[in-house]
Amino acid sequence: MGADMLAIDRAARAIGQQAVLSVQGLSVEFGPSGNSVYAVNDVSFELAEGESLAIVGESGSGKSVTVQTLMGLIRKPPGRVTTGRALFRGRDLLAMPDSELRRIRGRDIAMIFQDPMSSLNPVLTIGLQLTEALREHQGLPVKEAERQALDMLDLVGIANAAQRMQAFPHQFSGGQLQRIGIAMALVCKPSILIADEPTTALDVTIQAQIVELVVRLQKQLGMAIIWISHDLSLVAGFVDRVAVMYAGSIVEQAPVERLFAAPVHPYTIGLLNSIPSLNAANTRLVPIKGAPPNVTLPPTFCAFAPRCEHTVARCREAKPVLETVGAGHATACWRWRELAQAPRMPAAPIERVAAAPASQAPLLVVSGLKVHFPIRRGVLRRQVGAVRAVDGVSFEVMRGETLALVGESGCGKSTTGRAVLGLERPDEGSILFDGKDYAGATGDALKQRRRDMQMVFQNPFGSLNPRMTVGRIIGEGLRAQKIGTRASRDARVSELLALVGLREALRNRYPFELSGGQRQRVGIARALAANPKFIIADEPISALDVSIQAQIVNLLDDLKTRLGLTYLFVGHDLSMIRYLSDRVAVMYLGRIVETGSTNAVFGAPLHPYTRALLSAIPVPDPKAGGTRRRIVLGGTVPDPSRPPPGCHFHPRCPLATDICARVEPQVRDFGANGAGRHLVACHHAGEATP
């Protein structure tokens, strides 16, 4: 099978291109023999000089383990390489002694990690960490190493590079840290750059900037790239080839345009169907059913068979081998010839709950909300300023609708949601829920507020008690509110498990025994236990794979219809929000800059910041270059403790004029033709972006 894959790779490369890396039959296991986790199973691929290859798949598919093995990061128990070779310019990386591999790692093959903060030393300055690699691998003197480090920081777009060389990692934003991680990986000008999900934790605008930066640097330096991702739409516009992994094996590999145009493996088709489309209004996401595979089972059959709608007996009896589909295109599926003739499954129509009419009384009314966090310094901890996290926010949420609160990290979305729930105390403003002001509520009033309003948190693992079973976690709110008897609470837990699509058998499991999607379902069930009227969902899908995201989005929408729920959905993934929300409110630096129906905001955005957000969303179309024409915003997000005067967005706005820096824009209604209110706070709303 490895030889077949290599032959396919060679056929795909243009004549004259040389393979800088050749991986042959790589298998990696964890744990003791006889009780192993089969993380990577007989993986083979080649990477040509200057080529970009994306390895995609859900969490646990073996993507990161594959590239970490190439870097020599999995050499000791509990991990072990059982078979295979990895030839870098003809030399086997897996057989090299550690001393020789250390000379190659960083100099010839470099890696950008998913979490830049955890890959940087928090007690060393950025300059010291950058120059260390140059002095170690190239033997440069201090002055020359500092000069090259400065050049690299300039190249990746770090402003005031000479000054920032003396700063520590915690003094940078997430996007800046990722740029520094890229600078560290590229400072020795490697032949191969491995990017392990470097944009997963970033906002869509920063994500687009990082992708553009890496692509530009690849062309300048002529290096090859292996890009690890779970998001096919992200890699569509800039890679040459895509390898799809499932349960430790490559199940399909093809040039990027062919993979998107004519996928043949059911798993690849499922991943593509899970990708949200900004053009598919009022349609339902199509998730991959079931859960990721059990990788403790020996790879002796098709691992995707339990989730596949096309399974036959042979799929459960023998593992399919990679077969050639076309030029540079291979797949491991017993039924690929039949599937190649079948049309792609379209998204099914969805019956969406319409937004409540404007005349209906809202369930939630937020007026002039301000939440400021004091900045204290000195021995006496005197207040010297404040972070204006929420700086005058007003909005309404109608009964039975979903209002999405969107924007970049740090704009105040989550703080707004926490203030509504009562987890943060507002400095100014009012919050009316169901006609009542719960500010300062105590006793029975506070208890009722907590029953009527619940929250689904961003990190499902961090929000669940690791010492409690699933059943106790879901029933915790019922016990706290003293609702029902023990028997009725147990029955309610069973009802909630079924409601969110979890088996009764999971009732006695602990959170660490569940997948990410299952844990988020437990969080949703816990929030629904006391029959609330209002749910605040704080980025509940950001940590999940795209296929699991589709499951959770569909579940939330189904529950809204069945239970008559009202949602405040906090998020930055605009493509997913397109499917779930009835209206959208866009936040920037503590203020709402645009509010309107989902169709109006996505179809005809009027604020330049909204346009910039939408232009940065990856489009799953290689021919479209992966993204729309991106609106590049100048500068960085201002310090929320010292927001700019006038319009907070004016320092980065392509339409800004003198009035923007002096006068705070008033909210104006641009709604027309009975489409509802379309509120925009901008002096130049609707003007064409240059």
Q: How confident is the model at residue 358 (pLDDT cuts 50, 70, 90)?
A: very low
Of the given ranges (4-18, 201-215, 612-626), which has the lowest mean pLDDT? 4-18
More confident residue, 244 or 355: 244
Structure tokens at 533: 């009227």
pTM of the model: 0.82
How are strands ordered across the β-sheet holding 91-92? 37-48, 19-30, 79-88, 91-92
User: Looking at residues 99-120, what average pLDDT do you find?
Assistant: 86
Confidence of residue 543 (pLDDT cuts 50, 70, 90): low
All structural domains of the chain: 2-108+190-341 (3.40.50.300), 122-188 (no CATH), 362-595 (3.40.50.300)
pLDDT higher at 16 or 402: 402
Average pLDDT over residues 227-252: 91
CA-wise closest residue to 595 among 678, 681, 683? 678
- For 36-64, what is each residue's pLDDT tens digit? 889 999 999 999 999 999 999 988 889 99
Residue 4: predicted pLDDT: 52
Query: Locate tokens 């036959």: which residue?
Result: 312
- Tell me which residue of 284, 271, 234, 278 sits closest to 578, measured CA to CA: 278
Distances (CA, A) of 120 to 117, 129, 140, 517: 5, 8, 22, 30
Averaged confidence pLDDT in the chain: 85
The confidence band for 352, taking pLDDT boundaries of 50, 70 and 90, is very low
Coil, helix or strand for 161? Answer: helix
d(CA 416, CA 389): 8
> Measured between alpha carbons, how far is 70 from 57 in angstroms, rounded to an integer?
18
Per-residue pLDDT band at 423 (split at 50, 70, 90): confident
* CA angle centred on 97, ends 95 and 99, rounded to 5°: 145
